[in-house]
Structure 1
Amino acid sequence: MKLPKKIGLSLALLSMAIAASTTVHAQIKVGHIGSMSGTLGALGVDQYDGFMLRVAQGDGKLGGQAVEVLRHDDQSKPEVGLLIARELVEKDKVDVVVGITASNVINAVFPYVVEKEVPLIGTNGGPSPFAGERCSPWFVSTAFQNDGPHEGAGQEAHNRNYKKVAVIAPNYQAGKDAVSGFKRFYKGELAEELYPGLGQNDFSAEITQLAATAPDAIYAFLPGAMGINFIKQYSQAGLMDKFPLLSSFTVDDITIPALRDAAVGSLVSTHWVSGASNKESLAFIEAFKNKYGRTPSSYAMQGYDAATLIHQALESEPEAAKDKQALMKLMRNMKLASPRGELTFERNGFPIQDYSIWKVVSQGNGKVAFEQQGVALKAHHDAYVSQCPLKP
């Protein structure tokens, strides 16, 4: 497909499409979009690998239907993500679009895909506009609404009686949603709000500013490589013991192998982490490790759940493979069997789920683990669903 000269890029350079099944007559064609390179690359790879693990467990099928998966890298660029989405919908005629890592990319992709009435399963960020007044019956998320984990952190800060907290988050949609979510449940004073650029690596100036406020604690949302750099610099500055650190998507299973002891003592608010010990989580973790040789992150779990959602829907009604509207309705009304436990979905398509607090603890010899401290928000409903005009 030739692209307009003004774009100046070809999909050969933008993305890599990989057939996940060699079946010639695939009954379900899935387009997977994610940030497979750059700062958020590890997140996108985990989303894809989690999805493909579930496909592999069905021997290339979901719900008994042969599956073909086309994998694409959006490079965390909205214009690239939208270009890929157009290609998948108009040329490849996919039945479902899955994935998307960065909120700025889903901001661009969401309106186009749902307007074309193609089922969209989000496996990471969930910007607030699409949870509220711009919600769509063509969208469902196996991840979270952006504010959720941060609301859990805000509740935990309130529970710990912190009176003065400084916050830091990237200057983009998910970062703004993070701080909004934190403030919604935290009742104390915000000593500082810092918004570094997405992809920033040096936080020496920001750490100096945060420490200068002498807060009771610091809250950070800095995903991927940003989190690794921030936590290392924060620990090296000797601040981990001085100012307690609470975070979401900063210290997680993606970043902990690089952080190890630097993250010990910090608290994490999340909907799932590899410290989970229920039997569904243990089975998922073992299967993922066996296939990929590493510990799965929440991003991998979210991708796995997206494939499971398709599987359960098609298993219940195989004929939905030929009817996008029927498939979408089935998925939104499904009780999803997740490592998190059974999930149901709001009318805006986002899951109702717990947000727990985990502490990073040392196991000696540089090994660390996540230890659950409690549940900050139980069966939590997102803050925007009341603004969604769709009927329950």
Structure 2
Amino acid sequence: MRRLAAALLLLLCPTLVHALPVTTAAGNPTIVVGIIATLGGAGAMAGQDSVDGFTTALRQMGGRFANQEVRVVVVDDRGSPDTAIQVTRRLLEREKVDFVLTAVSQPSLAAIIKPLLDSRVFVINLDAGPPSLLGPDCNPSLFQMGVSPDAINEAAGLFFAAEKYRKLVVVGPDAPATNAAVAAIRRNWTGDIVDVLRVKGGALTFAPEVARLRELAPDAVYTVLTGGMGVAFVRDYSTAGLKSDIPLVGPWTAFERPMLPGLADHGLDILNIAPWSPDLDTPLNKRMVTDFELEYGRPATSWVAQGYDAALLLESTMKFTSGRTTDREAVRHGVRRAEFSPVQGSFRFDTNHGPSINLYLRRVIRDAKGRLTEELRTVLVKDWHGREVAQCPMRWAEDLTQPGGKPGSAPAQPPKPPKAPPPSAKPPKKPVQ
């Protein structure tokens, strides 16, 4: 398959380097973008999709941002914080990077964020980061594009409120993430969580949980199980006949398109909440979806969309600075402005450099080719804002118009609770024939 042969330098491991030539005209310096991603082990699917989404957008732009050659250096943390430290150190020592994109786990990000910020490079995190980095530990050089689990779970609460559900059961791993999901749902929904079923890691059969759900007969079930556990739970839930009577809802990470073949017909009509949908009706999203599948032979995902939008963000930044990366204030203002049309439908940065985005309700269907895919049902939340905005001490004006201009003093306001979608957006509880 074709790759961005003129602009991509891929480090598959800390010791193996595959260099691809870059030509740079005199007086037209190269913009260097480092990407630290998980390309092997747990998290590899998200990391690879983020890299390939970025590369797809860059290829469509001819390998340039604002007519400047772009050189991309990708390093693989292999899902290990220790390896993340090693490859980050090598990246900073060997390359004069202007931007670093991260698509790694929270433990890896926690291990590398200090050396990255100490190097004065601009960091754009494509995955969900620790909430503190958007609150009291926010930083003028750190930007977050990835949506947090809290955002998805809060949107789920809005959906349950709009549907007037009174009883809910949450199913999740026996881990803090399940407690966090319950807390986030309760911020926007006042119904009764009649039970929280906590599953031990590695479980692949769910007869006790299915029996308990049948006994409780809630209005809906919210699952935060992912990976193999998530697939196995859905299959058992569907086989037991519960899916046609009790809506099953979950976060997009459990029902992204690569997971759907493992669900087969058991996945049909399951609802999930996501920052992107493949059928968002914009010309650029259609182009991304088509070009990505032609190039890589697999469907685009929300991770692909995040990587793609990151390239659009950097291109808009370089347009703002006329291609200059040496004026840090101008670059920072350019990133903050985020003047681009995202394939995710909506995007801007709040004053804590966290994302303000739309969140969508999707349903699993079959496309014209008989493949399982996602269908957009409604926009659950427009311009979602994280609660951490008020905890971040950064203040800057949103109407910065000149490169190199000074930050304003406009204070960040705590976000207002988003409105729930109208009940008319209610999806069918039974499978559509």
TM-score tier after normalising by the smaller chain length: 0.7 to 0.9
Distance 2:381 2:125 in 1: 22
Structure with greater contact order relative to length (CA < 8 Å, sep ≥ 6): 1
- Structure 2 residue matching 1:274: 3-state secondary structure: coil
1:281·1:339 contact (CA, 8 Å) conserved in 2? Answer: yes
The answer to whether the aligner puts 1:96 opposite 2:99 as a matched pair is yes
2:416 aligns to what?
Answer: none
| C-alpha deviation, 1:119, in angstroms | 0.8
Q: Does 111-120 or 223-232 show the bigger shift?
A: 223-232
Q: Note the C-alpha offset of 1:13.
A: 5.0
- In the other structure, the counterpart of 1:204 is 206
Counterpart of 1:375, as a letter, is V
Tell me the amino acid that sits aligned with residue 154 of structure 1: G
Q: Judging changes above 3 Å, is the alpha-carbon distance between structure 1 residues 364 and 318 closer, same or farther for their aligned structure 2 residues? A: closer
Counterpart residue number, 1:54: 57
Does 2:316 align with 1:312?
yes
1: CA distance, partners of 2:159 / 2:244: 18
Other-structure match for 1:277 = 281
3-state SS of 2:108 partner: helix
Q: 1:341 matched to which residue of 2?
A: 345
**Structure 2 match to 1:23:** 23
Looking at structure 2, the residues matched to 195 and 64 of structure 1 have their Cα atoms a distance apart, in angstroms, of 53
* Residue-by-residue CA offset, 1:237-289 (whole Å, 9 max, x unaligned): 43322432111121122312332422112111112021322323212211212
Q: Which position in structure 2 is the counterpart of 1:43?
A: 46
TM-score (normalised: structure 2): 0.78
C-alpha distance in structure 2 between counterparts of 1:239 and 1:20, whole Å = 53
Gaps of 5+ in 2: 1-10, 397-433
Equivalent residue number for residue 166 of structure 2: 163
Letter in 1 for 2:316: Q
Equivalence for 2:388 = 384
SS in 2 for 1:76: coil
Helix, strand or coil: the match of 1:377?
strand
Q: What is the DSSP-based 3-state SS (H/G/I as helix, E as strand, rest coil) of the residue aligned with 1:320?
A: coil
Q: CA deviation at 1:382?
A: 1.4
Whether the 8 Å contact between 1:50 and 1:302 is mirrored in structure 2 is yes
- Gap regions ≥5 residues in structure 1: 1-10
The answer to whether structure 1 residue 352 and structure 2 residue 356 are counterparts is yes
**% same residue:** 27
- Is the radius of gyration larger for structure 1 or structure 2? 2
Structure 1 residue 321 and structure 2 residue 325: aligned? Answer: yes
Q: Is the 8 Å Cα contact of residues 345 and 358 (structure 2) preserved in structure 1?
A: no
Cα 1:246–1:147 shift into 2, 3 Å: same
Q: Which moved more, 1:241-250 or 1:171-180?
A: 171-180
Q: CA deviation at 1:347?
A: 1.0
Length-normalised TM-score, structure 1: 0.86
Name the stretch that deviates more: 168-177 or 368-377: 168-177
CA RMSD of aligned residues (A): 2.9
Q: Equivalents in 1 of 2:211, 2:20: separation in Å? A: 48
Q: Does the residue aligned with 1:280 lie in a helix, a strand or coil?
A: helix
Q: How many Å apart are 1:113 and its aligned residue?
A: 1.9
Are 1:34 and 1:99, in contact at CA under 8 Å, matched by a contact in 2? yes
